[in-house]
Chain A
Amino acid sequence: MSDGADLLAICDRVVAQALPGEQIDAYVARGGDTEVRVYQGAVEHFVSAQSEGIGIRVISGGRTGFAYAGTLDESAVAEVLADARDNVAFGEPDEWAGLATPDGVEATTQELWNESLVEFPTESKIELARELERLTLAADRRVRVDDSNYADAYGEAAVATTTGIRRWGRENGCFVSVSTLADSDGDGPAETQTGFGFSVGREPGQIDLARASKEAAQRATRLLGAVKPASARTTIVLDPFVTAQFLSIIASTLNGESVVKGRGLFRDRLGEAIANPIVTLVDDPTNPLAYTATDVDGEGLAARRNVLIGDGVLRQFTHNSYSARRAGTVSTGNAVRGGFAGTPGVGALALSLVPGTRSQDELVASVGEGVLVQSVQGIHSGVNAISGDFSTGAAGLMIRGGQVAEPVREFTIASTLQRMLLDIVEVGGDIDWLPMRAAGVSLVIRDVTLSGR
């Protein structure tokens, strides 16, 4: 099986061509995926795809040039290096420009490759998608399935630099997902609501079809008959899936590159209380439970556990080597690279809130009156991480007398990110390692504005 020698060799050949005074970073990736979509028992489409490519960054005299190609042809690689070098001449000098250098931090090894997935037969992949469709339809007679999917992917990547970084890694994984439609069957007006369910695994044995189908049916049916609630100032309980999206936005305000460029909402607040003292926000890609667990970051430095907010106090920002150099600190191992076609930016890798102890039901009981927010819509169009304004479409269940009551939809919830962090009342104990860069957990936030009728 592959040990990355061929990919590393391509990187090495590129790096060896560095001229005096030049820094070079070569990133080579190869991967593939399979995607099966089933509709009404038949395979609607079957996609089998491979891709590979190289991205080369050249830094000289503080100027940076970059080029990529979606192929590993030898002639193309030579052309990419020439293009990157040509591009250097047009950037403007930046005294902080430069590649990462090895910092001595030991990487925590992660088991990201599973051989059993490689051998998993095509027929079984199709059968998983079919079975998921069957289970979902059986879960509730009001439910139709829009599509039922199985997908798996593998990828390997190598990176080498003139500064002494040289890494190779690979990972694979699989997931199933199902999109549902639920139709009203009562005397009321005809309506259709939608839902989805999913399950992920490093190998097929970890896939939980029962959970995926049950959640997909519940998500679609729970909103049937939902009404538009009256406008109010209220307390909300966020479902774990919604909290995960909220945490990703919070983390974007702690992005070290934004901070050094004066855009960070909390840029002057290091060491100050920015959240309720019960809030501890951690970015920890070394935790194997995290879906995005990894041993190295996008620049090839060891991934590490960083406490961003500890007991409500802003402890640190996330940095790659560039933003760290500019901020006069060291990289936190938070370089993120979106494949060979881009250069490393800064971002959180695997966020989670340190959980509390109580279940969602207990949180609902203690809230008494409010709304359980089960989904949000337009979280990117209505949130501004620079001004802090937060406004999103939402759907969920009213909370009355400490219990969930009628479903509600077509309303918004609004506040500011600054206030929401301070208004967090309780973190649930129900942490859920979702297939995102943030883990979910139930979260209670008071004093938000609900806009409805």
Chain B
Amino acid sequence: MADSLVIEPDLVERTLRVALATGAEFAEVYAEDKRSTSMGLDDGRVEQVNSGRDRGAGIRVIKGDTTGFAHTSDLSPAGLAAAAEAAAAAASQGDGTTTTVALTPSEQRVVNTIVQAPGDVPKATKVELLQRINAAARGAGPQIVQVSAGYSDSRKRVLIANSEGLLAHDDITRVLVRVSAVADGDTGMQTGYQTLGHTTGWEIFDERDVEEMAREAARQATVKLNARPAPSGALPVVIRHGTGGVLFHEACGHGLEADHVAKGASVYAGKVGELVASPLVTLVDDGSLAGEWGTLAIDDEGHPTQRNVLIENGVLVDYMWDHVRARKEGHKPSGNGRRQSYQHLPMVRMTNTFVLDGPDDPADIVAATDHGVYIAQLGGGQVDTASGDFVFGMTEAYLIEDGQIGEPLREGNLIGNGPQVLADIDMLGNDFAMGMPGTCGKDGQGVPVGDGQPTLRVKSLTIGGTAA
């Protein structure tokens, strides 16, 4: 592409020199230029079309164990120098030194190929996409009383440079569509929700049928009109492929982030080489998967993303690392340093986190379960990494009776303890699928993440329903 860099390299070098002037060991510039378009449809009409522009730089300076950080939306030499001085002052009150920085530009790494940039697609075409979604969901049945849908795309160009000579850049395109349907019946209202998000261009809509997605949301809402209260208590739980990645995200993903581990705030601290899960489980975090929601060519500290095996056949292999933790412990960065925007400090984050296929036929997993719960869609979750206790919601679920999927259940949360649940995975399917796009929150920052897993069974999980 013919676009210029977010900041010219000589200005980056000058900024790094200012940042290092108080004797810091490390300085970094992260500059971004992001344009986004979003639109929302609700109650039958496209209510509003929005455009956004975010542009600025965050300067990080590390001296000893102290990190100083400042950011600015002013990318002029004066604006960058002021931010660099603020970051340097924040990191230290120390003596001045002069350090020079020689930047080594790296070729832009490409993991995603964008065929049709969403920014080049007429807004009217995007509006029409939402209208098709609305019509499809409403056409799914007379019980559908309300539909809302949203579309958004963004293109973010970033430049990352640091005092170790790194100079990298990336160009990230995202497209997201969501639909929510409300069905009304004798027992009140129920909801269904579907979302589709990729780091690809508009061509995703050639492959994926958004009307089918809308009908799926409508079907979920309609099915739940006949739902009975979910059971209360511990039962075997079968989770459908491509919906349960959030289980691993919460049950162990966060606990494998090196910052939690370093502070002894993870149940998985000090357990490398130990059996921490059922031997069926191999867990991978991979930010380089083409087109996925958590994908990025380089992480937000400039390191190439890669495939990291976290748990192999149940044994803990490694944690996920950012620059600060890796540098401190002499470990190689794993491409997991991420931040929400130039206004935020990077930290250890997941990208696309998934469990590889196991040996079982998914139909056999259900058939082998006498009495339990089948979860067809999970909602969000939350974990306490230190105790390992975590919850996650079920937004579409059914009773399993005598090896058959039966009546639909109302929504609820499930609760479990990470290490226990990982050990209790007793069947793992051979039907791997990625799930819906997610946003992972940590320390006030949200970043896009992906997840995936084959159909699996946990032999016991506590279901937070109201039925005896």
Contacts and interface: CB of A to CB of B under 8 A. Distances in A.
Interface of A: 39, 42-53, 64-71, 76, 79-80, 83-84, 86-94, 144, 146-147, 181, 191-194, 223, 228, 231, 261-263, 265, 341, 343, 377-378, 380-382, 384, 386-389, 391-393, 395, 409-416, 449-453
Contact of A45 (B69, B71, B184): B69
Interface stretch (B108-116, B366-374, B384-392): B384-392
15 contacts: A49-B343, A192-B267, A193-B384, A261-B42, A265-B188, A377-B391, A381-B379, A386-B190, A393-B415, A409-B389, A412-B414, A412-B463, A414-B413, A451-B232, A451-B464
A381 B380 contact: yes
B52 A412 contact: no
Contacts of B47: 64, 91-92, 94
Contacts of A453: 233-234
B387 A50 contact: no
Interface centre among A65, A68, A87, A90 (most CB of B within 10 A): A90
Interface of B: 39, 42-43, 45-56, 64-74, 86-87, 90-91, 123-124, 126-127, 145-146, 182, 184, 188-191, 224, 230, 232-234, 263-265, 267, 343, 345, 379-382, 384, 386-387, 389-393, 410-417, 462-466
B382 A381 contact: yes
A46 B52 contact: no
A141 B69 CA distance: 33
B391 A381 contact: yes
Nearest to B38: A66
Given A194-B384, A378-B380, A449-B466, A47 B69 contact: yes
Nearest to B128: A90
| In the A-B complex, the 8 residue pairs with the closest CB atoms | A412-B464, A382-B413, A381-B393, A378-B391, A393-B391, A391-B412, A46-B90, A87-B49
A321 B67 CA distance: 45
Contact of B415 (A90, A261, A411, A416): A411
Given A49-B71, A90-B126, A414-B413, 12 more contacts: A42-B65, A51-B71, A66-B51, A71-B53, A87-B50, A91-B46, A192-B267, A378-B413, A378-B415, A382-B391, A393-B389, A453-B234
B265 A194 contact: yes
Contacts of A393: 382, 389-391, 413, 415, 464
Contacts of A64: 47-49
Nearest to B246: A381
A386 B411 contact: no
A387 B66 contact: no
A47 B89 CA distance: 10
Nearest to A228: B462
Nearest to A262: B146
A439 B68 CA distance: 35
Given A69-B52, A386-B191, A410-B417, A48 B69 contact: yes
A389 B410 contact: yes
A191 B462 CA distance: 20
B134 to A, nearest CB: 11
